[in-house]
Structure 1
Amino acid sequence: MPGTRKQVGATGVQTVTISFAGFNRAWAAWIGDRLERRGVTVVQQRWDPPVEVPLEESLRDLTLARGRVLVILSDWYFQLGPRSHEEWNRALREVVAPEPDRFVAVSVTTSALPGATSVFGAADLTNVGADEAERRLLARLGLPVDPLPETTAARPGPRFPSDTPEVWGGVPRRNTRFTGREELLSSAYRALQDAGSGAGVVTLHGMSGVGKTQLAAEYVYRFGSEYDVVWWVPADRRALYRQKLAELAPELGLSTGAEYGERLRAVRDSLRRGDPHSHWLLVLDGADEPEQIWDLVPTGPGHVLITSRNPEWGEHNSNLVEVPVYSRDESVAFIRRRAPRLTQSESDLLADALEDLPLLLDQTAGWLNDSDMSVDEYIELLEGGIDQDVVKVSADFPLAFQTAWSILLNKLKDTVPQSVDLLRLCTFFAPGSIPVRLLKEMPSGELPEQLSGLMNDPLLWNKAIGQLRQYSVVRLESHESIIDEPSSGESLYLHRMVHQIVSKDMPERDRQEFIEVVRRALAAADPGRPTDTRLWPAYAEITPHLKWADVLLSTDPAVHTLVLNCLRYMYLSGEYRAGIKLGERAMRAWRELLGENHPRVWDLSYHYANLLRAVGDYAATEAIERAAVNHLRAERGEHDLEHLRASGGLAADLRGLGRYDEALEISGWILAAYQELLGEQDSRTLNAQNNLAISLRLLGRYEESLELNRRTLESRRQLLRPRHNWTLYSEINYATDLRLLGRYNEAESLQAQSARVHRLVMGTDNPQTLRAEHNLALCHYRSGDRTKARALFTRVLERCERVLGEGDPLTMMFAASQSCFAREHADIDQAREISEKVVSGYVDMLGEAHPYVAGTRANHALVLRNVGEREHAHVLIEGALADMTQAVGENHPWTLGCAINTSALRNLVGDPESAAALTETTVTRATEVLGRTHPLTLSARIAHAADLRGVRDRQRAEKIESEALGDLVTTLGAQHVHTVSARSRNRPYWDFEPPII
């Protein structure tokens, strides 16, 4: 360095202005931080010279800055404009060379740069570590390179840009032609940085084709060095989103098993706690339906970036950044970089014709650059060649899109025709992420001649994909690390605009052949065991594509099996709404295709009824199952396995409708038939045994239900995996019976362990997991641990409302419990509001005569009692007692519970004699049905003692109370909440719990 050059920092604090292209913001941030630690004042100035201003003038503007100008040299710096290397060489010689004291530089690229950049004497920061890069930077600026004081050096700062995040997955390759969008990137960055912990969510929203995904990818590359974890997740479908998020678990080093639910829970917990990494960035791409996934957006110290066409994300605690089409300057700059042969005026004309839509500009300019067609000729085609009858596109598509695509397709056909075949195959998958590897993995023997070469020749396959990528028709997707190349064509991303236009522009002959290929590929990918939770990620990947492959019109038995297995998966995984839609469409299609009484139609009706039953439509399912039972019995006989399966469904419908005696009768002979046909240990026999136990429980025969569930649980543990979802279901049933019999400690111990395993294996939001946690909350409550019960009741209800909706049977069951708890230990206003909704919901779903309506009205009467509406409460409870007696009989535990509450209200309205008479008969019946020391019988005995005091029969009251207290101590313990409450002469009450059917 010449001796006359004044060293920065040699005399006091100096200033350095860093000139950088927006692509290199991470380098600018790191360099600025290194210099500021040394006492240098740093000014950041993004380099983006207007194309209409001479390059020399823009460079001279840099000399107006204070201090020296540090230029970060990269490909990006010289591509802005765009300018030729000749222009750059001329400008550098004229402006930079004469002022060597003002300009210094560092180089962060190994690419060839304009020759005159040698005037900078740039320090090379490539292929070195952070310490050496800092030493070279300081030496180039003439600053001391001595180590900093330990406190200054230890201060956290930006990550060294060459150090990629420790965890990186799914991010698309960087678009080297990315243009503009600086304000949007800055807005998103500021919004995330300014958000508090747990609130760092930004949504990039805008119309299709506007470049939201490209903008998110550029954000990742621009700012990714500030994170320890960067994970990109397709979020257009809930099931796929959960699967891809679960794949983060091993990357975070989390100790989990292979189960999908366990991994998902571990990932969400790790991100929430910020352990092992607090600086994480999660990108949710294509999240167009916030209602589907908003409850799964992680919270914690990291950041979430969402791309979506839907601005409703603003209602879910997300900052919104709207992504418009390009400004005209951005369009022109982009086109000129994409198609260097076009002039500025030609680029302007093209941008105007294509309405500045980035996706269309990218595809069109790409092939125009390789074509000898002039822009004027192309625009003439656009304006005059649209056949409105050929293609209809959505309102948010530019009118020119269909014609632009017909031109591009012709170009593809002329060069690599197989690329068009591959593209057309892709349209029989759902738009977005397309698992084309399924095509390559399918057996090759039955491929049409037109496709056999493409599918069997790896070179031709790669050539077709390369051609589509060249014109930005598709992009490769990979969850490999940033360095590794993915295997070619594992998964492709196809924009929905492209998907629609290609689908419409397809010869009918190709449509018929190609759709069969995709159907067979999906059928070949069917794992075959939808009950195995470990295979759910595979089903989550397959199910979104069924609609697009029109699988319901296939006559292939393998495709039929695929549909039935997917319906079973949707039922078990809790994807009820999607399953019902598929089942409804399948019923219509298969009846027409196969005939009303085809065996596949009866198979289908079984799975469809399961899904409808899960959402409480018992009247519809009874009609479906009864038709199946009648037909199969007439055609095949009573002991046919399909008839028995349909009969089991009918028994479940009858349970849902409150017709428990009928359900018990059917359940009993089904079990006997299975035992005779298949033996005691077949899984179908165990299912029937499980269902018989449910019928017994609904009739209040808890001891018998417990014994059956104990045997079923033991057998399932031996026959199936201990973590199989049916084994876990038996654990819920057995723990429920223990709790209903007053064996609270045993129930709580079993259910706590089972709930943990449910969360690991099936995921936190699976309906069965929610049932397990709800039963655990009830166990905590009955054991007297109100703090744990309160938290779990609230969490389970909130999750169920998000996942299944307020009107779902499971949600209403949980809401009933929450209302009862809130009535006694929380907010009476909340209890009343929830209780009114529950009663109304059950009336709408089940009708006035159902026992659930009577039971929840009995609960509501207690709420009214607590707010002082005694007369209203009394009328309501008397009606509930009469309705419950009519529905299930006078000796059912639910009726006895209603009677305990009714006697309390009779006392409050001044009728102590009838109250005492009622509890006396209730004690007698409860002792006969449940035994002397059952919790319900003990409650009736304590209540009867109170009623006797009310009619001044103190001697009998004392005797009955003393005996009941002794039994409470023996049964539950002296310090149990029920015992303590009875000793304090708090009158007991009974809560109705709507059970699982």
Structure 2
Amino acid sequence: MFTATAEGGDAQRTMARVWHVTLDRLADTPVAGRVLRQLAWYAPDGIPRALSAGVVGEPDLSEALGRLAAYNMITLTSDSVTVHRLVQAVTRTPDPTDPHRRPEDITTARDTATNTLTTALAERDPLNPGDWPAYRTVVPHARTLLDHTTPDTDTTATCLLLTELGRYLEGQGDLATAIAYHARAAAGTERLNGPDHRDTLTSRNNLAAAYHAVGDLGRAIPLHEATLTDRERVLGPDHPHTLISRNNLAYAYHAAGDLGRAIPLYEATLADCERVLGIDHPDTLGSRNNLAGAYDSAGDLRRAIPLLEVTLADYERVLGLDHPNTLNARNNLAGAYRAVGDLGRAIPLLEAAVADRERVLGLDHPDTLGSRNNLAATYESAGDPGRAIPLFEAVLADCERVLGRDHPRTRVIRSNLDNTKKR
């Protein structure tokens, strides 16, 4: 059993000698070194066999894994691989004097690991709960790879992986990591492709959205405005990505309380989405939902509620009952019912929204916390402080733990609790 030691220490030097001798003995299985170099970039535990493959197919992969296990370089189970951290540290450290650790071979292994992780998420949707198991499988290994690489080595595949992970982690409530990944992707795509490339513009849009999600509108709005201007110039006013930028900018104006700019931009964007994408496209539904939310914020509930009702029905039909966008629409409709004083419909719908978000998104997800806050506020509106105050207190504690004491949502909930106690 090896003991943990800082990279470059005596244990690592001893391991390097053992490692070298072992791979010399495995010279008759040349793919063993390639497989081990790829495994070195992943998290040490629970590496799915599928992530071990890379460019090595069967039966060579099984032979290589079997021989590495026989020499105690890895541990095999029926469906996963474990590699000791010290073995990984030696394996991914270049040494021009060691034929098993040539810098170019280690670079190839790093790029192969990146491509394998990116391929595992191909055709996956980070907002679709059905695809979340694939993301959960990839995330620990991608985090490890990214922790052991530097931005100047990022490839197109690395930037794509950063984007996918950023979108997934943002949806899961890990906003700090999402911002870091989106920022790294934006810098990487601009370095690789230039400032006007579609991927660069997409990365900038995603970074602006992540800033918005964390409540940093001071950085979100200018970045959205610049990205929209560039997309209109490069892609044209009717390109789907341009429409996304317009919707996102309107959403940021809305969050900043600037309904005078948000509502006209929402209305124009919705009309263009319906014309260009069709009435059932998810982006069209998103624009319609956001416009309804802006009407609600403006106190125009006569337009907000019917639009929210039809949007929720369309989300349930197009995306399914448990899609995060459907859950968001359900929460928004309940809030509109509360605003108009229809607590008989608001409370059951909010209770269902909380239960669904807890089940689908988890107890600590920011959207779940938002629904719990809304339910507490609705209990308060119904004259039931006995249920409102304990729920406010619980969600405030969770927001402070998950989002921080100074997050905008935390401050709103704290204010709601204080106001309820004063009444």
1:504 maps to 2:64: no
Q: 2:47–2:80: 8 Å Cα contact kept in structure 1?
A: yes
Provide the secondary structure at the position in 2 that maps to 1:433: coil
Residue 441 of structure 1 and its aligned partner are, at CA, apart by: 5.5
**1:465 matched to 2:61:** no
Pick from 400, 408, 416 the counterpart of residue 809 of structure 1. Answer: 408
Residue equivalent to 2:390: 791
CA distance in 2 between partners of 1:690 and 1:453 (Å): 47
Measured in 1, the distance between the counterparts of 2:81 and 2:289 equals 43
Native 8 Å contact 2:162 2:184 kept in 1: no
Q: Deviations over 1:353-388 (max 9, x none)?
A: xxxxx6249xxxxxxxxxxxxxxxxxxxxxxxxxxx
Q: Cα distance, 1:690 vs. partner? A: 0.9
Aligned residue in 2 for 1:781: 380
SS of match in other structure, 1:491: strand
* Cα drift, residue 684 of structure 1: 1.2
SS at structure 1 position matched to 2:125: coil
Q: Write the distance in 2 (CA, Å) between the matches of 1:630 and 1:772.
A: 34
Q: Decide which of 39, 42, 51 is 1:439's aligned counterpart.
A: 51
Matched AA of 1:359: F
User: Does the alignment pair 1:710 with 2:309?
Assistant: yes
Question: Relative to structure 1, is the Cα distance of residues 742 and 538 closer, same or farther in structure 2, using a 3 angstrom cutoff?
Answer: same
Paired residues of 1:438 and 1:522 also in contact (CA < 8 A) = no
Identify the match of residue 13 of structure 2 among 403, 416, 423. Answer: 403
Alignment match, 1:112: none
Higher relative contact order (CA 8 A, sep 6+): 2
2:155/2:188 contact within 8 Å kept? no
Rg larger in structure: 1
Q: Distance in 2 between matches of 1:678 and 1:622?
A: 25
**1:118-137 map, 5 Å:** none
Q: Equivalents in 2 of 1:510, 1:434: separation in Å? A: 24
Change (3 A) 1:751 1:560: same
Aligned-partner Cα distance in 2 for 1:679–1:802: 42
What is aligned with 1:424? 37
1:617 maps to 216
Find the residue that maps to 1:462 and give its secondary structure: helix
Correspondence list, 1:937-976, <5 A: none
Name the counterpart of 1:523. Answer: 118
Matched, 1:456 2:60: yes
CA RMSD of aligned residues (A): 2.4
1:94 paired residue number: none
Contact 2:35 2:64 in 1 (8 A): no
Q: 1:359 to 1:694 in 2, by over 3 A?
A: same
Corresponding letter in the other structure for 2:174? E
For residues 408-438 of structure 1, what are the alpha-carbon distances to aligned partners after superposition, in whole Å with 9 as ceiling and x for unaligned?
12221222245443332122223x3252413
Q: Name 2:266's counterpart in structure 1.
A: 667
Shift of residue 805 of structure 1?
1.6
Query: What is the CA–CA distance in structure 2 between the aligned matches of 1:744 and 1:703, rounded to whole Å?
Result: 16
Candidates 644, 656, 660, aligned match of 2:243: 644
Equivalent-residue separation in structure 2 for 1:592 and 1:701 (angstroms):
46
CA contact (8 A) 1:690 1:709 kept: yes
CA shift for structure 1 position 561: 4.3
Counterpart for residue 345 of structure 2? 746
Identical-residue share of aligned pairs (%)? 23
Q: Which letter does structure 1 place at the counterpart of 2:273?
A: Y
Change in Cα spacing, 1:402 to 1:691, as seen in structure 2 (3 Å) is same
Work out whether 1:494 is the aligned partner of 2:137.
no
Deviations 1:125-153 (A, max 9, x none): xxxxxxxxxxxxxxxxxxxxxxxxxxxxx
Contact 2:186 2:203 (C-alpha < 8 Å) held by counterparts? yes
Q: Alpha carbons of 1:761 and 1:402: their partners in 2 closer, same or farther (altered >3 Å)?
A: closer
Task: Give the deviation of 1:535 after TM superposition.
Answer: 2.1
Partner residue of 1:513? Answer: 108
Higher normalized strand content (fraction of residues): 1
State the AA in 2 paired with 1:410: H
Q: 1:510 to 1:441 in 2, by over 3 A?
A: closer
Q: 1:544/1:624 Cα in 2 relative to 1: closer, same or farther (>3 Å)?
A: farther
Aligned residue pair count: 409
Residues 682-701 of structure 1: matches in 2 within 5 Å? 682-701=281-300
Specify the code of the residue in structure 2 equivalent to 1:736: G
- Structure 1 residues 555 and 424 mapped into 2: Cα distance closer, same or farther (>3 Å)? closer
Please give the residue correspondences for 1:106-125 in structure 2 after superposition, counting only pairs within 5 Å: none
How does 1:341-420 map onto structure 2 within 5 Å? 359-360=2-3, 394=6, 399-417=9-27, 418-420=31-33
Segments of 5+ residues of structure 1 without an aligned counterpart are 1-357, 362-392, 477-485, 825-997
Secondary structure of the equivalent of 1:596?
coil
Instruction: Give yes or no for the alignment of 1:542 onto 2:155.
Output: no
SS of the equivalent of 1:585 reads helix
Deviation at 1:554? 5.4
Q: Which residue of 2 aligns with 1:582?
A: 181
Q: Tell me the equivalent position of 1:766.
A: 365
Contact between 1:696 and 1:705, CA under 8 Å: does it hold in 2?
A: yes
Equivalent of 1:632 in 231, 240, 248:
231
Ranges in structure 2 where 5+ consecutive residues have no aligned partner: 95-100
Partner residue, 1:572: 171
The 8 Å contact of residues 334 and 349 in structure 2, kept in 1 or not, is answered as: yes
Structure richer in helix, relative to its length: 2
Per-residue deviation, 1:680 = 2.0
Q: How far did 1:739 drift?
A: 0.5
How far apart, CA to CA, are the structure 1 residues paired with 2:302 and 2:407?
Answer: 30
Matches within 5 A, 1:28-107: none
One-letter amino acid of the counterpart of residue 520, structure 1: N
Q: Is the 8 A contact 2:38 2:52 kept in 1?
A: no
Cα deviations by residue, 1:173-197 (Å, 9 ceiling, x for unpaired): xxxxxxxxxxxxxxxxxxxxxxxxx
Give the Å deviation of 1:672: 0.9
User: For residues 427 and 748 of structure 1, do their structure 2 counterparts lie closer, same or farther at Cα, with a shift above 3 Å needed?
Assistant: same
Deviation sequence 1:630-655 (CA, Å, 0-9, x none): 11112333222111111111112212
Q: Distance in 2 between matches of 1:599 and 1:398?
A: 42
Distance, in Å, in 1 between the alignment partners of 2:239 and 2:394 is 44
Query: What is the identity, as a one-letter code, of the residue corresponding to 2:134?
Result: A
CA change 1:673–1:551 in 2 (3 A) is: farther
Q: Contact 2:126 / 2:168 at 8 angstroms: preserved in 1?
A: yes
1:508 Cα deviation (Å)?
A: 1.1
With the length of structure 1 as denominator, give the TM-score of the two structures. Answer: 0.39
Distance (whole Å) between structure 2 residues aligned to residue 406 and residue 732 of structure 1 = 57
Structure 1 residues 590 and 561: CA distance shift in structure 2, 3 A? closer
Shift of 1:727: 0.9
Residues 247 and 266 of structure 2 are in contact (CA less than 8 Å); yes or no, is this contact kept in structure 1?
A: yes
User: Is the CA contact (8 Å cut-off) linking 1:801 and 1:811 kept in structure 2?
Assistant: yes
Give secondary structure in 2 for the equivalent of 1:359: coil
Task: Quote the Cα distance in structure 2 between the aligned partners of 1:620 and 1:535.
Answer: 31
Sort the Cα spacing of 1:735 and 1:584 in 2 relative to 1 into closer, same or farther, 3 A. same
Partners of 1:587 and 1:605 within 8 A in 2: yes
Contact conserved, 2:273 with 2:284, CA < 8 A, in 1?
yes
Alpha-carbon distance in 1 for matches of 2:375, 2:390: 11
